[in-house]
């Protein structure tokens, strides 16, 4: 394992952050004060703004600039603000039932699967991923012995199925929660021609489920078939935390930034977060920059394991 040599600039906040994850950290407090200040500035300058200048004068007044600056400052800081408050954790043994109740009306989605009209459209097994069998999965599972794993970005389930096998081999009773809207991305069928599309629906969720059924992992692998943003917010609200959280959904900077920050909210204090594409073609376009910024802002060190980044919050 190689380590990123960049020293984190907030490392003195790190311990504090680890222990007061669900309350405001010092740095959050500074940010909030700055935001309040900039709102106050914006309000004052807006209040002193002369209406005549609106309609008559094309000159940009000092007050307009001050107001615009304040707005930009507040907006920029907003990029760093994510929900700070999650519910008390539900017991790991209740995680599965919590998801069944909250998402699936109390019934396992694997019950009476596959539906007759879908069955002929599925392959018995089509498990394909990217770096989904990397050594990092085994390394972290052996180290963390997770009771709950949250995977953000699942596709056909290759990495989730790999983790199910690894945890089973270690005799762990791990619940793996897969978050994916199972839409893939526009045009992805070009590279998966054997998958069927019905009225524009690529049926990724059904093929993923079929893959999980094929490897007999319907107990350990459950899923939440919605957008990463709304889902991670809800997991936080329901008190569903992961000891291990994998982030592998959108790979552009902005998607990765949001996912990593939201994923961190549902990481059990002391847990480990990791993700793909720190060192692949997709890296500097987004993921690596987002991971590095997250680590810098929160005072963590980024470790590298193969193509994956790893952040240990312990
Ligand atoms: C690279 S694939 C995941 C691969 C998987 N971890 C593996 O190794 O086999 C990315 C997945 O993220 C999902 N995804 C991307 N953006 C998403 C979003 N905003 N909400 C939900 N899912 C998303 C896509 O549907 C796709 O299945
Ligand atoms: C949810 O479950 C209740 C009680 O079993 C049932 O009456 C209701 O129709 C179900 N709703 C859906 C959307 O399946
Ligand atoms: C799944 O279970 C069935 C029936 O118990 C068994 O025949 C099959 O080999 C199992 N498949 C895997 C991948 O473990």
Q: What is the pLDDT of residues 139-170, one digit of tens each?
A: 999 999 999 999 999 999 999 999 999 999 99
- Domain membership of residue 7 (yes or no) is no
Give pLDDT tens digits for 253-282: 999 999 999 999 999 999 999 999 887 665
Query: Poorest-confidence range of 48-62, 257-271, 300-314?
Result: 48-62
Nearest Cα to Cα of residue 176 among 220, 146, 136: 220
Label the pairing between strands 221-224 and 175-179: parallel
* Mutational test site, ligand 3, from 216, 219, 220, 221, max ligand atoms within 8 Å of CB: 216
Ligand 3 atom with minimal separation from the 215 CA? 13
68, 101: one domain: no
- Domain membership of residue 220 (yes or no) is yes
More confident residue, 9 or 90: 90
Contact 221, 176 (CB under 8 A): yes
Could you give the number of structural domains in the chain? 2
The contacts of residue 203 (CB under 8 Å, 6+ apart) are 118, 121, 122, 195, 196, 197
Q: Is the pLDDT of residue 179 over 90?
A: yes
Q: Is the pLDDT of residue 58 over 60?
A: no
Q: Is the pLDDT of residue 137 over 90?
A: yes
Q: Is the pLDDT of residue 182 over 60?
A: yes
Quote the ligand 1 centre to 252 CA distance (angstroms).
Answer: 12
CA atoms within 13 A on the CB side of 85: 0
Contact 154, 223 (CB under 8 A): yes
Quote the ligand 2 centre to 218 CA distance (angstroms).
Answer: 22
Which pLDDT score, from 0 to 100, does residue 278 have? 85
- Domain membership of residue 256 (yes or no) is yes
In DSSP notation, 234-282 reads HHHHHT--EEEEEE-S--BHHHHHHHHHHHHHTEEEEEEEEES-SSSTT
124, 153: one domain: yes
Which pLDDT score, from 0 to 100, does residue 68 have? 57
60, 37: one domain: yes
CATH number at residue 253: 3.40.50.150
137, 259: one domain: yes
Mean pLDDT computed over every residue of the chain: 83
- Domain membership of residue 225 (yes or no) is yes
Taking CA atoms only, the protein residue closest to ligand 3 atom 13 is 215
Question: Which strands form 148-152's sheet, in the order they lie side by side?
Answer: 2-3, 303-305, 308-312, 267-275, 242-247, 148-152, 175-179, 221-224
Q: Is the pLDDT of residue 3 over 70?
A: no
State the residue range of the domain holding 69: 24-78
- Domain membership of residue 85 (yes or no) is no
Whose atoms come closest to the Cα of 256: which ligand? 1
Q: How far apart are CA 108 and CA 158, in angstroms?
A: 21
- Domain membership of residue 57 (yes or no) is yes
Ligand 1 atom with minimal separation from the 184 CA? 25
110, 170: one domain: yes
104, 162: one domain: yes
% of residues, the chain, pLDDT over 90: 68
Determine if residue 79 is left, alpha or beta; phi over 0 gives left, psi from -120 to 50 gives alpha, anything else beta.
alpha
- Domain membership of residue 6 (yes or no) is no
Which pLDDT score, from 0 to 100, does residue 194 have? 86
Show the ligand 3 pocket: residues with CB < 6 angstroms.
215-216
Domain boundary among 78, 113, 140: 78
% of residues, the chain, pLDDT over 70: 74
pTM of the model: 0.80
Ligand 3 atom with minimal separation from the 216 CA? 1
pLDDT tier, 55 (very low <50, low <70, confident <90, very high otherwise): very low
How many other CB atoms are there within 10 angstroms of residue 259's CB atom? Answer: 25
More confident residue, 52 or 266: 266
- Domain membership of residue 1 (yes or no) is no
Taking CA atoms only, the protein residue closest to ligand 1 atom 6 is 154
Distances (CA, A) of 107 to 100, 110, 148, 215, 280: 6, 8, 20, 21, 40
153, 294: one domain: yes
Which pLDDT score, from 0 to 100, does residue 32 have? 46
Domain boundary among 47, 78, 109: 78
186, 104: one domain: yes
173, 56: one domain: no
Domain boundary among 37, 52, 78: 78
Ligand 1 atom with minimal separation from the 156 CA? 9
Contact 168, 156 (CB under 8 A): no
Residue whose structure tokens are 């939201």: 262
Residue whose structure tokens are 């997991």: 235
Mean pLDDT for the stretch of residues 26-31: 48
Give pLDDT tens digits for 188-246: 999 888 899 999 999 999 999 999 999 999 999 999 999 999 999 999 999 999 999 99
55, 189: one domain: no
Burial class (CB in 10 A: 0-12, 13-18, 19+), 150: buried
Structure tokens at 57: 């004068």
Nearest Cα to Cα of residue 250 among 149, 168, 139, 153: 153
Contact 111, 139 (CB under 8 A): no
Show the ligand 1 pocket: residues with CB < 6 angstroms.
129-130, 132, 153-155, 158-159, 180-184, 227-228, 248-250
Q: How far apart are CA 250 and CA 273, in angstroms?
A: 16
Q: Is the pLDDT of residue 39 over 80?
A: no
């Amino acid at each position: 394992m190689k380590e990123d040599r960049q020293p984190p600039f907030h490392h003195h906040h790190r311990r504090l952050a680890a222990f007061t994850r669900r309350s405001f950290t010092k740095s959050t407090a500074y940010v909030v004060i700055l935001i309040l200040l900039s709102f106050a500035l914006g309000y004052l300058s807006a209040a002193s703004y002369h209406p005549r200048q609106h309609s008559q004068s094309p000159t940009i007044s000092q007050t307009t600039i001050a107001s615009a600056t304040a707005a930009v400052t507040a907006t920029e800081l907003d990029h760093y603000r994510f929900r700070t408050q999650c519910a008390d954790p539900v017991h790991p043994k209740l995680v599965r039932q919590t998801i069944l109740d909250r998402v699936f009306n109390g019934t396992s989605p694997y019950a009476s699967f596959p539906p007759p009209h879908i069955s002929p459209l599925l392959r018995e097994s089509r498990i394909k991923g990217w770096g989904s069998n990397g050594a990092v999965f085994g390394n972290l599972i052996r180290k963390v012995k997770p009771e709950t794993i949250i995977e953000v970005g699942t596709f056909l389930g290759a990495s989730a199925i790999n983790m199910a096998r690894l945890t089973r081999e270690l005799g762990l009773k791990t619940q793996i929660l897969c978050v994916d809207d199972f839409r893939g991305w526009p045009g992805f069928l070009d590279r998966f021609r054997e998958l069927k599309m019905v009225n524009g629906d690529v049926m990724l969720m059904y093929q993923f489920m079929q893959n999980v059924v094929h490897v007999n992992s319907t107990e350990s692998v459950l899923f939440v078939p919605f957008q990463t943003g709304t889902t991670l917010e809800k997991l936080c609200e329901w008190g569903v935390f992961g000891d291990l959280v994998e982030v592998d959904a959108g790979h552009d900077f902005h998607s990765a930034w949001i996912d990593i920050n939201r994923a961190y909210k549902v990481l059990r204090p002391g847990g480990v977060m990791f993700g793909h594409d720190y060192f692949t073609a997709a890296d500097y376009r987004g993921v690596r920059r987002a991971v590095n910024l997250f680590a810098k802002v929160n005072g963590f060190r980024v470790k590298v394991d193969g193509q994956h980044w790893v952040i240990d919050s312990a």
